[in-house]
Amino acid sequence: MAKIMLVDDAAFMRMMVKNALTKSGYDNFVEAQDGAEAVKKYEEESPDMVIMDITMPNMDGLQALKKIRESHPDAKIVMCTAMGQEGMVVDAIKSGAKDFIVKPFNAERIVQTVNTILGK
């Protein structure tokens, strides 16, 4: 089963995404609380894909996206954004994000996006 890294400074958001994916059969997760931790854990864990919030302390999601893709250009990263952050989404896509999910989360959209990115 695919290993999915969930990156968000809000534990509640990570839990919501994990719950939606668990109901669809995914069960291998790695979690990080900010971009800096995500970059470190990406190196250690080599996840199959990453679902990452854009707005986080220490290192935001865009910085982490760029850092991960520097050493892993084939990294599959989906960004999460709140309504009204369209400019950041454009930056994320230009920087190599595969897709984005808008908060508040829709469980079906999360599962559909993960299945598409992982080729299921």
Tally of domains in the chain = 1
CATH value at residue 82: 3.40.50.2300
Closest CA to 99 of 116, 84, 87: 116
Give me the domain span that covers residue 104: 3-117
- In angstroms, rounded to a whole number, what is the distance separating the alpha carbons of residues 18 and 24? 10
Dump pLDDT digits (tens) for 6-21: 999 999 999 999 999 9
pTM: 0.94
pLDDT at position 103 is 84
Answer whether the bond into residue 47 is a cis peptide, omega within 30°. Answer: no
In single-letter form, the type of residue at position 97 comes to A
Q: Is the confidence at residue 111, as pLDDT, over 90? A: yes
Q: Is the confidence at residue 83, as pLDDT, over 70? A: no
Q: Is the confidence at residue 113, as pLDDT, over 70? A: yes
Cβ neighbours of residue 62 under 8 Å, at least 6 residues apart? 54, 79, 88, 91, 92, 95
